[in-house]
């Protein structure tokens, strides 16, 4: 099982990497940090950054109750995106939920970072000042 702190650190490092990519383009030379962070949250991260066991519990709860056990709008959006990817994988390859979820968590990229603007700004503000290398 991957630790939540490890997954969060990986997500944060991926987000900082996206911010640095945007800065290298030169489009944000006169823009505010809020503009940069807003654009970076719309970029596609490398993974969903959620553990298998937690995702499996969420998806089985959704299938039995019709709703996710999540409070925030970004969390709900992430779970719905993951659910769509898993259902697509199940229908395309004829896999059971467990196999489809494992495949999606390993191979699929979510459409955007599912973090709030305040969290994104905090991650960007507290970024390491040296290059970050992420092993994903």
SS3 state at 96: coil
Say yes or no: 58 and 90 in one domain: yes
Per-residue model confidence as pLDDT tens for the chain (136 residues): 456 679 999 999 999 999 999 999 988 888 899 999 999 999 999 999 999 999 999 999 999 999 999 889 999 999 999 999 999 999 999 999 999 999 999 999 999 999 999 999 999 999 876 655 555 5
Say yes or no: 29 and 8 in one domain: yes
Say yes or no: 38 and 59 in one domain: no
Say yes or no: 40 and 63 in one domain: no
Total structural domains in the chain? 2
Q: Which long-range contacts (CB under 8 A, 24 or more apart) does 62-71 make?
A: 63/97
Say yes or no: 134 and 95 in one domain: no
Whole-model pTM: value is: 0.86
The domain of 59 spans: 50-108
């Amino acid at each position: 099982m991957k630790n939540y702190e490890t997954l969060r650190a990986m997500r944060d490092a991926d987000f900082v990497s996206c911010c640095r990519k945007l800065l290298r383009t030169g489009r944000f030379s006169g823009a505010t940090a809020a503009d940069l962070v807003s654009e970076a949250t719309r970029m596609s991260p490398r993974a969903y950054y959620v553990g298998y066991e937690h995702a499996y519990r969420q998806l089985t709860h959704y299938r039995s109750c019709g709703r996710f056990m999540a409070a925030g709008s970004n969390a709900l959006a992430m779970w719905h995106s993951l659910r769509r990817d898993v259902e697509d994988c199940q229908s395309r390859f004829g896999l059971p939920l467990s196999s489809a979820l494992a495949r999606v968590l390993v191979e699929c990229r979510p459409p955007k970072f599912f973090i709030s603007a305040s969290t994104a700004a905090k991650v960007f503000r507290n970024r390491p000042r040296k290059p970050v290398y992420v092993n994903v």
